[in-house]
Chain A
Amino acid sequence: MSDKVNLDRRQFLGTASAAIAGFAIAPGLFLYDFANARPTGGAASAGVRWGMLIDSTLCQSSCNDCVSACNKEHDLPAAKSPTDVQWIRKVELKQISTGRQISLPMMCLHCAEPPCVDVCPTQASFKRADGIVLVDKHRCIGCRYCMMACPYKARSFVHEAVLSHDGEMPRGQGTVESCTLCDHRVDRGEQPACVEACAKAGHSAMLFGDLNNPDSEIYRRVRSVASTQLRADLGLNPNISFVGL
Chain B
Amino acid sequence: MNLLRALALLLILMISFGSVSAVPMPKLDIGLGGHCVENPGYMRQNHMHMLKHQRDETVRQGIRGGKFSLSECVNCHASKPDDNVLGGSAHFCQGCHEYAAVKIDCFECHSSKRKIIVGVGK
Contacts and interface: CB of A to CB of B under 8 A. Distances in A.
Interface of A: 38, 40-44, 126, 128-130, 132, 134, 136-138, 161-162, 165-166, 170-173, 175, 183, 187-188
Contacts of A136: 56, 59-60
A165 B59 contact: no
A166 B63 contact: no
A41 B65 contact: yes
By secondary structure, the A interface counts as loop
B46 to A, nearest CB: 18
B18 interface: no
A43 B63 contact: yes
Interface residues of B, number: 18
B107 to A, nearest CB: 8
Contacts of A43: 57, 61-63
B2 to A, nearest CB: 56
Interface of B: 55-57, 59-66, 107-113
Contact of B62 (A130, A162, A173): A130
A129 B61 contact: yes
Contacts of A130: 62
Contact of B112 (A42, A134, A165, A188): A165
